[in-house]
Each structure stands twice: as C-alpha cells, then as structure tokens.
Structure 1
Amino acid sequence: MSVNINEASVTVRKAARALGRSGLVHAYGHCSMRLDAGTFLVCPASPPGLVGVGEECTVLQVHEPLPENVLGEVRLHQQIYQNRADVNGVVRFMSPKMMSLAAMGLSPKPRHGFGSYFAPSVPLWDDPQLIRDDERAQKVIRLMGEAKAVLMRGNGAVVAGQSLEEAVVLAWYLEDSCRVELDVLASGMAQHAPVLSNEEAAQRATKAGRIFERMWQFLTNDDEE
C-alpha cells in the first residue's frame, strides 16, 4: 500500500474533525493513516475537532522511536501498524458511554447490529494509566490481538480499520454498542437480554450496501475540505 500524502492529509484532517463533531473526542484523541509499510500519518497534536483546513499532519516511522514532540499515546498507533498488516487506519478516542462502561471494568457484548462488528468481545486493558511508554503500548496491543478495538479502563479506547474511514465508523459503532450495553445494564435485564451468537454476528457484520461509506458520508457532511 502506498498513499498520496496530500490526499491522505485531507482524509486525516476530515477524520479528526468528524470525531470532534460526533462527540467521540474532546480536547484529547487522535487518528492516523498508514502511508506505506514503513510510515504513517497522524493528525495535528491539537483537539481533533479544531484541526484547521490545510493544517500540517505529521509523518512518522512505523519501526523507529517516536520524536519527542509527538503525543505519547500515538505509540499505540505505531504498535498496531507494526503488528497488524491488515490495519491502515487507527483512532484513539474517549467517547462518553464508552468511558463510563470501561470505567466499570466492562466491555460491550454484541447485542445489536453495530455491536456485531466487535464479536465475540472487545478486550479490556484493566489499567487507567496513560500509555506513554513502548512497553505498555506493546502490552495493550498484544491484548488487542486481531480484534477491531481495545478498551482501556478509565482511559478510552483504540479502534483499527482497513482504512481510516472504516476506523472512524467503527469508533462510532463502538460508542453505540456501549450505549446499548449501559441501557441493558440499567434495565436489570443484562442476564436475560439476547447476545448475538458468533454465527449471527459474522452474518450481520457486513460491509455490503455501502455500510461504512454511508456512515463516513454522514460523519463528514459539510466538512470544510
């Protein structure tokens, strides 16, 4: 895979602003896109929703130490790109329902359509500390394995997609899955409410019908770029 850096920069900035507008991030959070086997592009180190038109993104090396001026938890992106050849986009975010569920030490079960994309479960890193060293980042991503996401107790989540557009949509899906899980828990029906089987989830987690493209269009509607 090799991507035009100017086109990639536009996509990264649009993704950052979409995350901000949809309430998936606030002052904190970041997104990135793989450029090729050895490099990736990360959004500016500012609140994602405030990223300006044409603002410069940063090219980073997949297999070299991160520069000191890069946000510390970008190493989570780097570790994913090192270990997952299938991943070309990563989002680090702190959405409200997901933060609440993860703070309880829980991750959502695949109870509805959007949750099917994370079946059979979303791994949970049971430590609220920031991930600002390589050793911790390696452990988190090792726990994540081949899953599309990993929750971090009291510290948000990371999602990975075959494209950055897909990763942004998956972030929205994960937040909605956490909303549903919290509603089920609040109802007192958690032990009785249905959970999708692996077969049901595999059938429902489709990419057909422009599923991801339509949500990306919705999330980036009226973007300045």
Structure 2
Amino acid sequence: MTSATEHQQRELRVAARALARGNLVHAYGHCSRRLGADDFLVCAAKPMGTILPRDVGTVVPVKGALPDGVLGEVRIHQAIYARRPEIGAICRIMPPQIGLLALLRRTPRPRHGFGAYFAPHPALWDDPRLLRDDAAAGLLADTLGAGKAIVMRANGAVVAGESLVEAVALSWFLEEAARVEVGLMQMNQDGEHTLLTADETTARQVTAGRVYERMWEYLSFGDPELP
C-alpha cells in the first residue's frame, strides 16, 4: 500500500480538529483522505478534538479487510472511494441540527446559500444502526450516489469532497443548512415559499473565490500544527 507523507498526516489531523472545533463531531466521528486509487488514510481512532500532533492515521485499502485498530464504520469510506474515483476526502460527522432533522426523516432543502450546495437535498439513509459490515456500507454508498452528503437517521452524516478542504467546508455547510431548516420549522415557515428557485440555487453553487478555503481557514484557525 501507499505510504502517507508527513504533510498528508498533518493535514488530516488539522481536518479532524477543525471538525471538532466546528461542533460537527464529538466523541464519535472520523475523516479520511485518498492516497491513490487503491488506498486512503483515516485519522487516528480517537475523539477527533483530542488528536495530537504525534498521532498518526492508518493507511486503509479501498478493497479488503480493515487494518487492526481501525473503526468498523470506516467501511463506509471504502465503499464510497470504490464507487467515486473523483472523491478525495470523506468526513463522518455528528452534527446536532442534522441529527434532529434526521429523526423526522428529513434533510435540509435549498433555502439559502449553504443549502444550495446539496440541492435538491442530501440523501437519507433510513436506518439507525451502525454500519459495520460491507454489505450495509455498500448500500449506503449506493444511496449517496453522486451526491455530496448523506444523512443517517439517528446516526449523523457522511460528507464527501474532492479534497479535505472541500469535505470539511461542506460538513459545516450541511449543518448550517439544517440549522436554517429547523429554525423555519419552528416558525412554521418551512414551505415552498422559503425555497430558493432553481435559478437561484444554481447561482449560489459557487466554488470560485476561495469559498471552501475560507471556511477551512475559519475552522482550522489557531490549530497547533498551522503556522
């Protein structure tokens, strides 16, 4: 298998702590980055906010048994990487507002700029059980399809991006979209009248102008491994 460079290890540690800093994970959650066609690097199997500069991730094959010490749900990463060659990073997150919506079997719709990135809405995995076998992980990846995120009922969400920067930023966007959805539900204003139009949604799916990079810088600011 491919060996991870120190730069790749460090960026993954920064991403893990950024997700924790953004209240997108707690004791549970993990993230990974692709190393090549056949393997990827997953973060240390510990609460992401507690990952230290000396902690190293584990190289995992896209196909095959998980290495010792790797969390069982990393099978989800394997299944997505196997199906989506363009995906370079995956975040398994536990955002609170997304969790609330998912209990109602709902996912956020495009009502403001951040929600537009997941139009028409993130997929829903309607099963609260942990995914610890290859068959279930494969079905979840099939349900995600070509999307950027899938929400898991009573079990957080999975976000996929072409890079760690994109995946981390989209994780924050997803939770912000859920916050808006929940707020509108509380005001009984979550009808069609608060949705962006198709043209507005397309216009807000902007990636130029360092959109993802600025969110990465916001979430990673002050990290001990950044200058």
* TM-score exceeds 0.5: yes
Q: 1:155 to 1:113 in 2, by over 3 A?
A: same
Q: CA offset at residue 4 of structure 1? A: 5.7
- The question of whether the paired residues in 2 share the 8 Å contact of 1:30 and 1:48 is answered with yes
Q: 1:193 to 1:22 in 2, by over 3 A?
A: same
Q: CA offset at residue 202 of structure 1? A: 2.1
- Residue 57 of structure 2 corresponds to 57
- Residue 88 of structure 1 corresponds to 88
Cα-to-partner distance string for 1:56-115 (whole Å, 9 max, x where unaligned): 110011122212421011111111110001100000010111111111111000100000
Q: CA offset at residue 21 of structure 1? A: 1.2
**In 1, distance between residues paired with 2:35 and 2:213?**
20
- The question of whether the paired residues in 2 share the 8 Å contact of 1:108 and 1:122 is answered with yes
Q: CA offset at residue 203 of structure 1? A: 1.9
Structure 2 unmatched runs, 5+: none
- Residue 124 of structure 1 corresponds to 124
- The question of whether the paired residues in 2 share the 8 Å contact of 1:108 and 1:121 is answered with yes
How well do the aligned residues superpose, as a CA RMSD in angstroms? 1.3
**In 1, distance between residues paired with 2:43 and 2:64?**
18
Q: Counterpart of 2:182 in 1: which secondary structure?
A: helix
Q: Counterpart of 1:7 in 2: which secondary structure?
A: helix
- The question of whether the paired residues in 2 share the 8 Å contact of 1:109 and 1:119 is answered with yes
- The answer to which of 117-126 and 189-198 deviates more is 189-198
Q: Counterpart of 2:216 in 1: which secondary structure?
A: helix
Give the TM-score normalised by structure 2: 0.95
**In 1, distance between residues paired with 2:211 and 2:121?**
21
Q: Letter of the aligned partner of 1:146 in structure 2?
A: A
Give the TM-score normalised by structure 1: 0.96
- Residue 111 of structure 2 corresponds to 111
Q: Counterpart of 2:49 in 1: which secondary structure?
A: helix
Q: Letter of the aligned partner of 1:25 in structure 2?
A: V
State the identity as a percent.
47
- Residue 138 of structure 1 corresponds to 138
Alignment of 1:1-225 (within 5 A): 5-225=5-225
Structure 1 unmatched runs, 5+: none
Q: Letter of the aligned partner of 2:19 in structure 1?
A: L
Deviating 4+ runs (over 3 angstroms): none
Task: Provide the aligned length of Structure 1 versus Structure 2.
Answer: 224
